[in-house]
Structure 1
């Protein structure tokens, strides 16, 4: 009797499970939005909270507007150069660990600056704070570009930029109120505590990266990645746009306080702090226009946002408080709408090494904030508000020309998701 053998049925291969992207309408998208909103909040709140205090620094330390602006220009320069290094660290060690460390460290340094005994020591702590904070922005933009579905990236980036606007508003209003009733030392301590709260919320809500593959630090590859991005014409122009947009926004808010304090307006520090609530306009514009850009195309809307910014600048020239507030709101709307679209645009044009592309964009943004922000102080001293507005408007006209050129570029092919 022979035994028959039965061939074993082949085992069907299990198809690989595709790691999902974060999409609008899901609970994960909501938690990611909350986390990045807190990150954006901390970035602008901790960096720009000194803007309403510039006149107070001038009075207490006996320094001019341009020297007082160093409390923002120096950390901006440190942040700009820090982003170039931080982007590479995030490629090696991961996005979330670097971002979490950045928010906690910068919050602690803000607390320390509240106890600074001299102008020089305050500037040192502010510079270190800018360097610590650099780990957040480039990694955040790269995280969104990697983890969020392309159809939702505009809205996600808009919400992140909204966090920037919310932080900018809360920082300016908070320190204005606290410093007027107590001192700038108390105001800085208040912002440090607020930063720590944001850091905890960020840590709890952000999921770890799922589409990120760590790469060992390689200086040659790093330089090659930067060179690749700088050779891409569209990215080069977007980097220039970041320089002009952020430089104009920071210059506007650096010196509007001096204008509002000076005759004929003559407002108090508390009222000036409250006027900075117009920053809330940036929260709405970045989210709304970011999502609109996903549907209608960024090239169609970008130059319009810049034109709105110029219109607002013209309104601020009218010597009334109403005109100053209205013009500030209009200009803020245009600046944040343009910044939101440019940020998302960089992520879409960079096919690889997205953190490096984001860091170059942010480097340009914060160098613009430093260079144009300090230049505005000399123009304020020599030509008053007219000189400041002329500087910003000139930059916006150049930005509109760049936007017209960008609108003629073909989109970069994207990987299928």
Structure 2
């Protein structure tokens, strides 16, 4: 097989284009999160109804990812990703011109359908096209794009809304995303390992069934659910804590807490490289420990200590996510795209389900309850790393230039 090799022009071009893909997808996905109160006031709807602008998008995203994976095998991964990014950018721009709330919801629903084309395929593209020796770093670059995109979508939208309006903010993010989408289409190399297949839903269903019966893959799937559930729970309710006494922070200052996503941008690349060097299992265990330590540190009252704790927690989460997502592609011998889609399905289910359950712990047990929930999730997730070690395919590299040899560890 001919892989995209580190140090080549194609490698640099593909790396940057995958960063653009992550940025566009998550910048537009989370643009409405800081605007919920604005929507409630302008369209005269309740807060739960206003939140549909985000939950409707992520819900459809999780479902459509499974379909997008099957389509990519018939049409091609690059074509699906380009279509996804361009349409996502266009509909993201159109949301700025929504005349009423129903129209806004419709645009956001369509966004959820089109956004699914990137996260369901990007990981499979990386594992198939890049030299296996550098997959961890490349996956880290893609995930760093998602962290910066998610951060930008929240912070820049809030700032532009304060100075102008939410419509200007959404339009600006939409235009920027469209520019990045065009660059992505031009820069990403066409898949070399792509062999066009007829669209066969029976085969696709069989692929998902096979993955669901693979205990090693399912360990990673449930780990993603627990990790994302804990991560979203912390960020969902930290704002409630910080606007209360003794902190009394403004919503603008609370919004800037997302700057700590930069810790995730660094950790996804740095720890991805360490995983390539020392082994995924070992670094993943360390990353889970970092998450737990950061979460517990947020229980200390001083604000600065809490912010440091959130930084550490974020560092550990994105490190864990980048390693686990790369491991999924390597563990799935066949149907890698469907494996990546299932991983992300569990990932977003964790966001939706556990993120909501965390509200119960906040209401009844305050911040201590939230951290206890997160700690339990991490304790449940830790043994899954051990479960995934037995029988998992390991890539053994020989002398430089030689093909990797796959072997089993019992």
Does TM, normalized by the shorter one, top 0.5? yes
Q: Distance in 1 between matches of 2:292 and 2:161?
A: 32
Corresponding residue for 1:294? 276
CA contact (8 A) 1:265 1:321 kept: yes
Could you tell me which residue of structure 2 aligns to residue 154 of structure 1?
A: 136
Check the 8 A contact 1:51/1:254 in 2, yes or no.
no
2:191 to 209, 230, 233: 209
Q: CA deviation at 1:405?
A: 2.4
Give the alignment partner of residue 399 of structure 1, picking from 378, 381, 387. Answer: 381
User: TM-score scaled by structure 1?
Assistant: 0.89
8 Å CA contact retained: 1:154, 1:294 = yes
1:27 is displaced (CA, Å) by 1.5
Q: Any conservation in 2 of the 1:290–1:341 contact (CA below 8 Å)?
A: yes
Match of 1:63 in 2: 46
- The residue matched to 2:342 in structure 1 has which SS? helix
Counterpart in the other structure of 2:212: 230
Q: Do the aligned partners of 1:55 and 1:258 also contact (CA within 8 Å) in 2?
A: no
1:263 match: secondary structure: coil
Cα deviation, 1:65-124, whole Å, max 9, x if unaligned, reads: x55543332211111111100000000000011001111111122222223344444333
Aligned residue for 1:400, secondary structure, equals helix
* Greater Rg by CA: 1
Q: How many residues align?
A: 398
Give the aligned partner of residue 373 of structure 1.
355
Structure 2: 5+ residue stretches without partners: 398-402, 405-410
- Aligned to 2:283, the other structure's residue is in SS state helix
Structure-1 separation of matches of 2:322 and 2:23 = 15
Superposed displacement of residue 132, structure 1: 0.8
Does the CA contact (< 8 Å) of 2:23 and 2:150 recur in 1? yes
CA contact (8 A) 2:216 2:331 kept: yes
Question: How big is the shift at 1:256?
Answer: 2.6
Q: C-alpha root-mean-square deviation of aligned residues, in Å?
A: 2.2
In 2, Cα distance between the equivalents of 1:56 and 1:392?
30
Question: Which among 217, 242, 247 is matched to residue 260 of structure 1?
Answer: 242
- Residue 324 of structure 1 corresponds to which residue in structure 2? 306
TM score, norm. by length of structure 2: 0.90
CA contact (8 A) 1:95 1:209 kept: yes
Mapped pair 1:269 → 2:251: yes
Q: Does 1:28 align with 2:10?
A: yes
Report the secondary structure of 2:393's partner residue: coil
Q: Secondary structure at the match of 2:241?
A: helix
CA displacement at 1:20 relative to structure 2: 2.5
Residue 143 (structure 1) aligned to one of 117, 122, 125: 125
CA-CA distance at 1:302 after TM superposition: 0.9
What CA deviation, in whole Å up to 9, does each residue of 1:247-297 have, x standing for no partner? 222232233333333333222333233331111110110001111111111
1:239 correspondence with 2:218: no
| 1:138-192 alpha-carbon deviations (Å, 9 max, x no partner) | 2111111111011111111111111111112211221121223333333222221
